[in-house]
Structure 1
Amino acid sequence: MCPSLKRNSSRSRSRNRPGSFWFSSLSPSWLSALAVLLLLWLYLYLDRFGYAAPLPINGSGPSGTRPVALPSDPELGNLPLLNPGPPTSRPPPPPPSSTDIMATPNPPKASKPAVTLRQGAYVGSTILATSYFPRPVDAFRGIPYAQTTAGQNRFRPPQPLPASSQTFDALRFGKACPKEGRIAPDTGEDCLNLNVYRTGPGLEGTLRTAKLPVIIYVHGGGFNAGCGIERNMAAFVSWADDDMIGINFNYRVGALGFLPSALTAKEELLNLGLRDQQLLFEWVQENIEAFGGDPDNVTIMGLSAGAHSIGHHLMYYARAPKGAPFAKAILESGATTARAVLIPTHPRHLIQFEEFLAAAGLGSVPEAEVFTRLRELPLQTIVSASKAVWDRYIESVTWPFQPVIDAANTTGSHSAPSSLLNSTSPSSNFSTSTHHPPPPALIPDLPIHSWRQGKHLRIPVLTGYNTNEGTIFIPGGADTNADFRAFFTGLIPSFSAADLDALEKLYPDPVTDPNPQANPYRDVPSGKGRQWARLDAAYSHYAYICPVLQTAHFLSTDIENQHSVHVYRYAATAQWGTANHGDEAPVVAHDVASLGGGRLPGLLAVADAMHGAWARFVVSKAGDPNPPSPEKSDDGVVAWPTFLSPFSPSADGVVREWTGTVRRGETPAGETGQLLVFGEGNDERVATLRAGQEGVSGVGGGGWKEWFASLVGAGKTGLREGTPAKVGMLSEVELAACRFWWGRVELSEGLGNRGIERERAKL
């Protein structure tokens, strides 16, 4: 095993930083000239070395960043993609055998990393150590985990791959799943593939004797966009002190992955994108030992829709006969109680389904022929129709094509079948010999009901949120109190006038406030309406912050849960001077290329702290993100306290505060409401974005463009590095907001009877 870069001194992470380059002391004028030359070099060599343009991380928000992945050999850029070739590029489609699943654990040593699986042998590449990748990483890109979803597999559950003795190149990313209304060259229905990144063996090439911890990233995108490579897992693995394996993958989004309707329920085709994710988890269990991974130490990590998905899996696998194919979970800015989880026959979904069929030219097709015709349509027609419906609901944030209560994939009862097992912990004996059909329901009830009934896994969880989660979703021009009320009336039709009045008092109007100087929502960026900051706070609490804290609350007050919960808040500011939804993504990955290329020392310190904590959580079987020292580690992380809910457990859903500091309904055990705050006071990205990147999102960074902008902006004053990490407390504003939103979660999550009647009236 190669020696790891342990943080045994304050220089352990700074040795290879781009910020330590020889030109760091040059004057701004020299830096500007150098930047022009670098820009010319980038244009000449960008495509050859595997860089790509930013990819969207959110359906309605700005773009995130595609990971930077430098191949070890320049000629790799001339090799074809793994999957989009002729039919011989992947195993043929016959059904697989249910036996002989396990793969060869130790393939022969070769000049390039190779692995032998039941579905075939794969030859990868090695990303060599650079200032962006301090340790070499073995990369296996574009490996399929299911058959193509085209043709008769469209609008069907994912199909496992058959056995094969062929050898395939795993050198380039596979196709991403279709999204955004057009078919790009790197997208297609043969998109269910993954990328595996493993800490490289180093110069010694020694064989490992211990199995490696595994982390799987589930991408975001509002269930309508996104792809696995939005999170740079190569960087995540390379910067980790300990050897590990990182995985990202694609699943179906938009109408192809989530098309709720009465007909879809009747055909048992709901929540296909979540089924894709579950097949990937099973694939990892069956194959990860071939890469040297530990199937009993798997962490799943998701952002936004990826975190929402993980929340559903926490509940599903508590009932699954085979137990959970993962042992720990990280949920960034997402939870099952976020926004709305409706029944497939809810009027909103019925309306959107009819709009989709009309946009696809199938508005008058008999019900019995709908899915047959949908499978025959050109892919562009499907994707364009999906985008047309999506565009109608962006401003109201009442998005189409979402996970729904499947209730045994029928239109019957919402109650979970009593025959399902109620396992409360992940199984170390996860069966890999047979591909079992899924239990009858993936989401059998409103998630809030499952939480209250204790129908969820009890495993280590790390979760948190960003200070300004709502900025990229809310309408920028909202200017009056009427605009504020109209937004939430459309978002939650079941809200009564009394609910809206209470909402107004909780978030006072900055325009009519008799004491405007004390109003926290008075300051807005140029070009935004006067209600912008107010809407951001209210929507942030409604859609992200309070659902995240609700997950932490239920886990920390569950007397049967013996595992810790850790909560964070990300506070480093970017576009609009706010900490926006998804801004933490490149920081967690320690993706230096997306963090100013090393020219933002404060943000790199935040990345050291945040990535270090995430990596320790992955490695520790107990899910402990804390450093070995009880005080402080070399990456800047102070001791991270376990989250203890400031609210008492309540089966009836009424939120009550503790009178003291108590845990799980028993005796005092610590201070409640503590969390770790990352990047407080850091505003370096605000300045770099203004130095030529106005309009580039803070979501996921600007990639090489932001790095270039940071060079031109070098030497500008006003940059604050802030504090990498510090212990904080939930504020009174957050506590009051959660009292309000938790008390109305059924109205929001299921839209209630009033909302259903109001929607039905539109039919």
Structure 2
Amino acid sequence: MYAKDREASPHFSSGSGGSRSGRSATVELLLQQQHRTRTSSHGGGGGLGMGIKQRPLVRPNHRSYSYGHSRGGFFRNRLSLWISGLAVLVLVWIYLKVYGHGYGYSLKNSYSGAGLGTSRPGQQGTKISLGDLPAFILPPVTTTTLVRMTKPTASPGKATGKGSGVKATAPAVELKQGIYIGATNLKAPRFKKSVEAFRGIPYAQTTGGQNRFRPPQPLEPSKETFQATRYGEFCPINDGVVYIGQGENCLNLNVYRPAGLIKGKDGKGQDGNELKLPVVVYIHGGGFNAGKGIERNMASFVAWAEHDIVAVNFNYRVGALGFLPSDITAREGILNLGLRDQQALLEWVQDNIGAFGGDKDNVTIMGLSAGAHSIGHHIMHYANSPRPPPFHKAILESGATTARAVFYPTHPRHLIQFREFLTAINAAHIPESEIFPHLRTLPLKTIVAGSKAVWDKYVDSVTWPFQPVIDGPNPYSNSSHANHTLPDIIPDLPISSWQNSHHLKIPIITGYNTNEGTIFIPPDASTNSEFRSFFKTLIPTLKDADLDKLEELYPDPVTNPTLSPYVSVPNGKGAQWNRLDTAYSHYAYICPVLQSAHFMSLSGISNVYVYRYAATGVFGAANHGDEAPVVAHDMEFLGYGNERPGLVRTADEMISFWSGFVASKGGDVNAARGRRVQWPRFESPMKREGWWKDLGKGRVMVFGEGNNERDRSVPPQERKQGYPVKVESLTRLEREACEFWWGRVGLSEGLGRGEEGGRAKL
């Protein structure tokens, strides 16, 4: 979430709201903002954001509104609504005339989209047609979902972009599943170069009806022609309501490429030769309970990349519909459906990206938070798969396969949450053999409401439901898996896969933000007992000796203020806030990230790079997901004038490294940078048997150190640009903290015991 959105919201105060804690309200707000429809430079159509939450599918009863005590009052109020709407359209027209954003419509949007451990990029406006405007702008509709694709009424035509004076021809592509007509986003202040966008292209069948709680089903061939100018449906998220634009026909993608390189519908260049551009696929975050593909502005990423590339983002199932672990689910062979959706998309890219001018042999997957966790699982999966991996490099931002918890489906936490879900949807009485046939008959709103009921119970403790699980047969899961033909997605404990070298050996960029924990920790915790209680609830098998060691690593600012570096906290936060942020950041994000880099570097991969994002925003911190719009070089966030010059310089450096990594087949981030600052390869300072006190190792790139241009609590005259890029070594605390957390990874995997066998605690 952007700082401006956070600061404008009472959810970010330290106090409680009603019966819910301040932290719960914070995460709830983040979840809600995942599904605000928005325009963005990477696709336009889907929606406008504008800080307005989408309406539920259930239409309000107009009689319940107070239009006045008389019929005259009713009509006066209706007239005022129409006048207000007309005024909005006039302002939109003036905005478009001023900024000259190509041949469609563009609206600036204040959306910030994070979710529960996901990114918070603010997406900007782009060229869309009037038909792409969302439901809260258009007259009421009678359908329950937005139209995803329609047949064009005419052949692709030309449209003139007034801001650039350039004529754009609607791009087209021919696939086995049909012909798709896209749109062109013309060069403008927000785009360094024009970008062609294809939106809402399906990569699998609907997940509704009898396909619910089943693996993604392939599409049938087609010769039809479709408009790919507006977004498809987004997958329902865990917010208790199905919003307009959401539905189960949500497995669709968006493709972005530089304009003017492709001549026809077959992906060949202007000279008639086959074009093979590097490809990057973005996997969204959201804690596996929220999110959608357009959370990252991939059109902007393409427009500002130093190399010509093709980018893809997409939706996958989240919440109970995508991740519903239990012993029954395991026997049905339908665990980790959201990860299977991702793999179906990656296979679709292999089969189809050539038609867009992409190189299927040079694919990078990129993800933030849950997207990065997912990538970690795919790195393990394809090392154990007979199929060749559908990607060749990876960028993992604030995530890893060992991050947070990855249990067996029969871990008591998952079994209890599954039963609570059945109770919430009034299905606890259904015989086990009939549970999933019954769930496929229920209204979608019932599933979503039940998911939210379970989520609410666990959000504050960060012991979230509906997560990926280890789906390989094992002696400890106490479940007999069905004889299904689908390969296991997570075949073993992630730490065991690392230790046994059962992972792909590929180039990676991975990294973390300085303050990963701020949006997850209890905001009001003030005592040492609350500090210990938080981690004991999060990891029940921590022993008292472990908690004592935690206190030693992170000194108490209340009882030991002279030695503790955690005394200073933002206004309204509890005395333990800074301490909890540091400890949780190490546990959930920083140390898992460094563990991935450690094992990759020891496996002989030379192009392993680690970063830290340090530019501060709300709370005076570099929060989880804050780097997202900077990586994308999103000018709606960075500002067209001189609003945030330091962040613009930081964005220049980040997209240079990121796009250089995507473009290089070998994943060399420095290949095309000339004399600019070079990013050192990561060499682990830790041998397999323990820490190696070599300070020349463990070097990371730091982006935005000292920049506070996002922090609105700082007066404008005191805001600093900081350093766009510099190199540092891991700190002593990071080394010692990761030594502690790495030694206890097993407490958050399998049955949560550290060594498998016996009975797990909840």
- Structure 2 gap segments, 5+ residues each: 1-86, 97-103, 152-166, 264-268
| Counterpart residue number, 2:362 | 297
Q: When the two structures are aligned, how many residues end up with a matched partner?
A: 640
Correspondences of 1:682-721 after superposition (within 5 Å): 682-687=707-712, 690=713, 716-721=716-721
Tell me, in whole angstroms, the C-alpha distance in 2 between the residues paired with 1:353 and 1:729: 44
| Counterpart residue number, 1:594 | 637
Among candidates 331, 348, 373, match of residue 283 of structure 1: 348
| Counterpart residue number, 2:120 | 64
Among candidates 665, 668, 686, match of residue 624 of structure 1: 668
Among candidates 634, 657, 664, match of residue 691 of structure 2: 657
Is contact 1:195-1:249 (8 Å) kept? Answer: yes
> Using a 3 Å threshold, how does the CA distance of structure 1 residues 658 and 446 change in structure 2: closer, same or farther?
same
1:360 is aligned to 2:385: no
Among candidates 285, 306, 329, match of residue 220 of structure 1: 285
1:157 is aligned to 2:243: no
| Counterpart residue number, 1:736 | 736
Tell me, in whole angstroms, the C-alpha distance in 2 between the residues paired with 1:86 and 1:574: 37
Among candidates 602, 617, 620, match of residue 577 of structure 1: 620
Among candidates 521, 524, 542, match of residue 566 of structure 2: 521
Query: Could you tell me how far 1:49 is from its partner in structure 2?
Result: 3.2
Among candidates 36, 41, 58, match of residue 91 of structure 2: 41
Query: Could you tell me how far 1:68 is from its partner in structure 2?
Result: 2.3
The letter for the 1-side match of 2:91 is W
Deviations 1:55-92 (A, max 9, x none): 5321378x8345324126667659999995789959xx
Partner SS for 1:260: coil
The letter for the 1-side match of 2:587 is Y
TM-score (norm 1): 0.79
> Using a 3 Å threshold, how does the CA distance of structure 1 residues 44 and 391 change in structure 2: closer, same or farther?
farther
Among candidates 230, 234, 240, match of residue 181 of structure 1: 240
Is contact 2:407-2:752 (8 Å) kept? Answer: no
Partner SS for 1:376: coil
Correspondences of 1:502-541 after superposition (within 5 Å): 502-513=549-560, 516-541=561-586
Among candidates 269, 283, 300, match of residue 334 of structure 2: 269
> Using a 3 Å threshold, how does the CA distance of structure 1 residues 761 and 315 change in structure 2: closer, same or farther?
closer
Tell me, in whole angstroms, the C-alpha distance in 1 between the residues paired with 2:216 and 2:521: 35
Partner SS for 1:196: strand
Tell me, in whole angstroms, the C-alpha distance in 1 between the residues paired with 2:469 and 2:190: 41
Deviations 1:456-492 (A, max 9, x none): 0001111000000000100101100000000000000
Partner SS for 1:198: strand
Is contact 1:315-1:456 (8 Å) kept? Answer: yes
Deviations 1:188-229 (A, max 9, x none): 111000000001117999457441000000000000001110
Deviations 1:304-362 (A, max 9, x none): 00000000000100111111000100000000111110000110000000010111111
Tell me, in whole angstroms, the C-alpha distance in 1 between the residues paired with 2:588 and 2:134: 44
Tell me, in whole angstroms, the C-alpha distance in 2 between the residues paired with 1:190 and 1:410: 37
The letter for the 1-side match of 2:559 is T
Is contact 1:83-1:174 (8 Å) kept? Answer: no
Correspondences of 1:417-566 after superposition (within 5 Å): 440-513=487-560, 516-558=561-603, 561-566=604-609
1:745 is aligned to 2:745: yes
| Counterpart residue number, 2:322 | 257
Query: Could you tell me how far 1:657 is from its partner in structure 2?
Result: 1.9
Among candidates 245, 258, 272, match of residue 199 of structure 1: 258
Deviations 1:615-642 (A, max 9, x none): 000000011111535531xxxxx10000
> Using a 3 Å threshold, how does the CA distance of structure 1 residues 454 and 481 change in structure 2: closer, same or farther?
same
Tell me, in whole angstroms, the C-alpha distance in 1 between the residues paired with 2:751 and 2:619: 32
| Counterpart residue number, 1:702 | none
Q: CA RMSD in A?
A: 3.2
Tell me, in whole angstroms, the C-alpha distance in 1 between the residues paired with 2:369 and 2:480: 27
The letter for the 2-side match of 1:57 is A
Tell me, in whole angstroms, the C-alpha distance in 2 between the residues paired with 1:492 and 1:755: 14
The letter for the 1-side match of 2:295 is E
> Using a 3 Å threshold, how does the CA distance of structure 1 residues 73 and 272 change in structure 2: closer, same or farther?
closer
- Structure 1 gap segments, 5+ residues each: 1-36, 91-108, 418-436, 633-637, 651-655, 662-670, 692-712
Query: Could you tell me how far 1:41 is from its partner in structure 2?
Result: 3.3
Provide the identity percentage: 56
Query: Could you tell me how far 1:42 is from its partner in structure 2?
Result: 5.5
Query: Could you tell me how far 1:444 is from its partner in structure 2?
Result: 1.3
Deviations 1:29-64 (A, max 9, x none): xxxxxxxx9999369879953666625321378x83
Query: Could you tell me how far 1:186 is from its partner in structure 2?
Result: 1.2
Is contact 2:746-2:754 (8 Å) kept? Answer: no
Tell me, in whole angstroms, the C-alpha distance in 1 between the residues paired with 2:499 and 2:134: 55
Tell me, in whole angstroms, the C-alpha distance in 2 between the residues paired with 1:135 and 1:237: 8
| Counterpart residue number, 1:103 | none
Tell me, in whole angstroms, the C-alpha distance in 2 between the residues paired with 1:571 and 1:504: 25
The letter for the 2-side match of 1:364 is H
> Using a 3 Å threshold, how does the CA distance of structure 1 residues 83 and 676 change in structure 2: closer, same or farther?
farther
Partner SS for 1:288: helix
- Report the more deviating stretch, 731-740 or 45-54: 45-54
TM-score (norm 2): 0.79
Is contact 1:299-1:329 (8 Å) kept? Answer: yes
Tell me, in whole angstroms, the C-alpha distance in 2 between the residues paired with 1:595 and 1:619: 24
| Counterpart residue number, 1:105 | none
> Using a 3 Å threshold, how does the CA distance of structure 1 residues 125 and 268 change in structure 2: closer, same or farther?
same
- Report the more deviating stretch, 221-230 or 38-47: 38-47
